[in-house]
Amino acid sequence: MTMHSFHAPDIAPDTLVVAAGRPERAPDAPVNPPIVLSSTFVGAGVPGPGERVYGRFSNPTWDPLEEAIAQLERADLPALVYASGMAAVASAMSLVPAGGVLVVPRHAYNGSLGLVGDLATRSNVEVRIADLEDTEGTIALFGGADMVWLESPTNPMLEVADLRALTAAARAAGAVTVVDNTFSTPLLQRPLELGADIVVHSATKFMGGHSDVILGAAVTSQVHLRERLHAHRTLHGAIAGPFEAWLTLRGLRTMALRVERSERNAAGIARRLLTHPAVSGVRYPGLPEDPGHHLAAEQMDGFGAIVGLRVTAGEEAAERVLNALRLWLPATSLGGVESLAERRRRHTGEPESVPADFIRLSVGIENLEDLWVDLSQALDTAL
Ligand SMILES: *Cc1c(COP(=O)(O)O)cnc(C)c1O
């Protein structure tokens, strides 16, 4: 299928989410790309470049989504979509050679940290753990590094990393930089523009936006890196199903509206949490008193929809709060239209430096007053 394309740099991100990845306009053409359910494609002889050949190598339903994500991230090459965010993470981490050196944030997504542990034991990768709020201390770990893995804000602790300084120092040290941009989405932060080599996403979260699909993506503007990621996806086989790819593009169409509303709600919730007597601490980069606020204001176009809080009375009280919620859902994941709350340390894979009383909120698009009434009555059970 040919795609209608235009010069993306001229177009604002909140237009791109709607306009990118449309079929070529022609009389009677559909305005949405079709779902192509075919495991193989007609062809004979030695396949030429760009030929589809087989459904694990390429699928026409991936193309519009890969085009749209690339335009949003201001990448020069199409993104690559995967079966999950973790498949994209695994593909990017596969660029670290056996016996190589990998720098990771102490509070990266716990699945990414799990995979790092696997690389350390099975491929003898040297892992260096960084506190991303300490820019100098992080840069001091870059000597001899093959890859620097970054997340900003981090999941779940919402620490903000100086992406420009860290990617520049990593490049000077000869390391490939990867930024997991799931929390921010390309609407709020474009790491390739800040100097990153590769961006990965759990499109399961804000891109899909409705908690009904699992999908991942990786984006780069460098041909040799994209070729290696593409080869990894093809050979390891963690490809996106055509329906999941279609559903994610369907979700992407409203991402600007959803993120805008969720962010406004998150700012309101964070501000109110500061005054609730059951809460001992709040993390949200949008709060002027947050340690990451200035950096976030500099490198982001917004502060996102994830808020962290600590419950003064401790872990059991935090569980009581979650059980007392009626509108918010106590569930993992984030970035959907519905508001979710989770005590992250319920997962054994979560680093112990995440406090046991820490609750991560993914603020949805409901009415702010309704969200606050429910959350504050639940927090009252922890007084
Ligand atoms: C959820 C998440 C992932 C993993 O994505 P899946 O789609 O669940 O495989 C990776 N990074 C971050 C920051 C996430 O929140």
Q: What is the pLDDT of residues 29-43, one digit of tens each?
A: 999 999 999 999 999
User: Stretch 156-175: mean pLDDT, rounded?
Assistant: 98
Output the CA angle 68-73-76, nearest 5 degrees. 80
pLDDT number for residue 1? 42
Q: Is the pTM of this model over 0.85?
A: yes
Query: In this predicted model, what pLDDT tens digit does every residue of 200-232 receive, in sequence order?
Result: 999 999 999 999 999 999 999 999 999 999 999
pLDDT tens-digit series, residues 269-280: 999 999 999 999
| Tokens at 91, concatenated | 């593909």
Give the mean pLDDT of 240-266: 98
Cβ–ligand 1 distance for 155 under 6 Å, the answer: yes
Q: Cis check for the bond before 153: say yes or no (omega within 30 of 0).
A: yes
Lowest mean pLDDT among 8-22, 53-67, 121-135, 234-248: 8-22
What percentage of the chain carries pLDDT values higher than 90?
A: 96
Instruction: Please indicate whether residue 56 is annotated as part of the active site.
Output: yes
82 carries an active-site annotation? no
Which residue bears the tokens 């990118």? 20
- Residues 6 or more apart whose Cβ sits within 8 Å of residue 344: 110, 156, 350, 354, 358, 359, 360
> Does the Cβ of 86 fall within 6 Å of ligand 1?
yes
In whole angstroms, give the CA distance from residue 336 to residue 286: 20
Mutate to test the pocket of ligand 1, among 202, 332, 334, 354 (most ligand atoms within 8 A of CB): 202
- Residue with CA at minimum distance from ligand 1 atom 4: 85
SS3 258: helix
d(CA 21, CA 186): 16
Whether the predicted pLDDT of 2 surpasses 50: no
Residue 5 is predicted with a pLDDT of 54
Average pLDDT of the residues in 5-10: 61
> Which domains does the chain show, CATH number per domain?
3-252 (3.40.640.10), 256-380 (3.90.1150.10)
Query: Cβ(81)–Cβ(233) under 8 Å?
Result: no
Looking at residue 26, what is its pLDDT? 96
Chain mean position to CA 88: 10
Q: Measured from the CB, is residue 226 less than 6 Å from ligand 1? A: no
Q: Is the pLDDT of residue 292 over 90?
A: yes
Best mutation site among 81, 82, 89 for ligand 1 pocket (most ligand atoms within 8 Å of CB): 89
Which residue is listed with tokens 């009434």? 373
Tens digits of residue pLDDT in 43-71: 999 999 889 999 999 999 999 999 999 99
Amino acid letter, 51: E
- To the nearest 10°, the Cα dihedral for 23, 49, 220, 8? -30
Rounded to the nearest angstrom, the distance between the alpha carbon of 85 and the centre of ligand 1 is 5
Question: Please, what's the b/e burial string for 321-348 (b: 16 or more CB within 10 A of its CB; e: otherwise)?
Answer: bbebbebbbbeeebbbebbbbbbbbeee
Angle at which helices 255-273 and 368-380 cross, to 10°: 40
Backbone φ and ψ for 220, nearest 5 degrees, come out as -150, 155
Please state the atom number of ligand 1 nearest to the C-alpha of residue 335.
15
Taking all residues of the chain, what is their mean pLDDT, rounded to a whole number? 96
What is the spatial distance between Cα 211 and Cα 207, in angstroms, rounded to a whole number?
10
CA of 207 to the centre of ligand 1 (A): 12
Pocket of ligand 1 contains residue 201 by CB under 6 Å: no
Can you give the pLDDT at residue 71?
Answer: 97
Q: Indicate which residue of 56, 228, 272, 320 is catalytic.
A: 56
Percent pLDDT > 70 in the chain is 98
* Nearest Cα to Cα of residue 112 among 202, 226, 239, 214: 202
Ligand 1 atom index nearest CA of 204: 7
Alpha carbon distances (Å) from 92 to 116, 193, 197, 205, 377: 12, 19, 10, 19, 43
pLDDT score of 6 more than 80: no
Q: What is d(CA 331, CA 81) in angstroms, rounded to the nearest whole number?
A: 25
Q: Which atom of ligand 1 is the closest one to the Cα of 86? A: 9
Q: How far is CA 155 from the centre of its chain?
A: 9
Q: How confident is the model at residue 253 (pLDDT cuts 50, 70, 90)?
A: very high
Decide: 85 in ligand 1 pocket, CB within 6 A. Answer: yes
The average pLDDT across 331-352 equals 96
Kindly state if the Cβ of 205 falls inside 6 Å of ligand 1: yes
Mean pLDDT of 233-259: 98
Terminal-residue alpha carbon distance, the chain: 59
> How many A from CA of 121 to the centre of ligand 1?
22
Active site residue 118: no
Q: In the annotation, is 180 catalytic?
A: yes
Q: In a 10 Å sphere around its CB, with 0-12 CB exposed, 13-18 middle and 19+ buried, how is residue 37 labelled?
A: exposed
